[in-house]
Every structure is written in C-alpha cells, then in structure tokens.
Amino acid sequence: MGDLPGKLDRLVHRTRLDFMTPMGSPRPRNLRWLPMLVLLALPAGYALLVWSLHHVAPGRGLGWAAWLSIAGLIVYAAALVAATVIALFGPRVGRGVEGLDERELMLRARAGNVSGQVIAALATLACFYGAGAATFGLWSPVDAVEWVNLGLIVSAYARLLPVLVASWLQPQPDAEE
C-alpha cells in the first residue's frame, strides 16, 4: 500500500488544492462580476421555484410549471453552491483568516461593514414587504420549506457580499500578475 498519506499530500499539492489547507498559501483574487451574478441568481431561482410550485396541480404530469420548478431548483441550488465556493477564491475576508496585513485588515473591516449595512437594509425592506403582504394579500412564505430557503439566501448573501465589496474596493490587478 505504501505511504498513502504522503501520496495524497503530493496529489493535493499537484492539483494546487493545498491553498484550502492551513499549510497552503491562498492566492486571493478580485471577483467583481461573478458574485454579483450569484447574488442575483439566488432570489431569481427561489422565486421561480416557489411560484411554479404553487401553480403545479397534483396528478397533471410534467407540464410547463413543473419544468419551471425544476429549472428554478437547479438555478437556486447552483447559486447556493457557488456562493460557498466563490468565498474560497475571493479576497480573504472570512472569519478566522490569519496573516493579514494592515491593508487587508482595513479592507476586511470595510467590506464587512458595507455588507452588514446592505443586509440590514434588505431585512428592513423584507419586514415592510411582509407587513404589506399581510395587509394587501400579496405573496408571502406559507410553509417551513419556503422560510428555510429564505434563510439560506440570507446566509449566502452574508457569505458572498463581503467578497463582492472587497473585490470592488481593491484596485484592478496589474496585467503582469
């Protein structure tokens, strides 16, 4: 069998996946447009999924609403996974990141501050919408699954917004890098 842990270490080093380990050295990148696309895909996929599920009649087979719900589920799930993966490759703004210099610490603090303000504003707007939905009979989540998925969206926004803000706060890298 040989030295299996050593072979696995060499494989991880060859594939350059060691940046995700404490011994690796991550190479943070500015991700300016990809996080924005994912942040837009999250509510769009959720809305498509929920809307089409409320319009699917049981026992009618796979009609257009069922295909829309499948498409919404795929977009929503892919955006959730992408939100987690993108945070690994963007600027180092997450909790527990060690070895940051003063500029990176300032960038991390500013990105967290702006992101927190955006999430608080969105939560405030959601509260006002909830009051209006109850008053005017508009759509609002009806079961636990819809509420849990909304919570997952908020969690993904909290993970991805600092990456987006930090990417836009940093200057564009030189063409030589």
pLDDT tens profile 46-84:
999 888 777 766 666 667 777 888 888 999 999 999 998
pLDDT of amino acid 124: 96
* Residues 38 and 159 sit within 8 Å (Cβ to Cβ): no
Does the residue 38 lie in any domain?
yes
In a domain, 50, yes or no: yes
The residue range of the domain holding 110 is 15-92+99-169
* pLDDT over threshold 70, residue 115: yes
* In a domain? residue 54: yes
Q: Is residue 47 part of a domain?
A: yes
- Report the number of distinct structural domains present in the chain: 1
For 154-174, write each residue's pLDDT tens digit.
Answer: 999 998 998 888 888 877 665
Looking at the domain assignment, is residue 164 inside a domain?
A: yes
The whole-number average pLDDT for the span 2-25 is 73
Q: Would you say 92 and 104 are in contact if contact means Cβ atoms under 8 Å apart?
A: yes
Is residue 129 within 8 Å of residue 123, measured between CB atoms?
A: no
Residue 131 or 10, more confident: 131
Q: What is the pLDDT of residues 33-48, one digit of tens each?
A: 888 999 999 999 999 9
Tell me if 3 is assigned to some domain.
Answer: no
Domain membership flag for residue 76: yes
Judge whether 175 lies within some domain: no
C-alpha Rg value of the chain to the nearest Å = 21
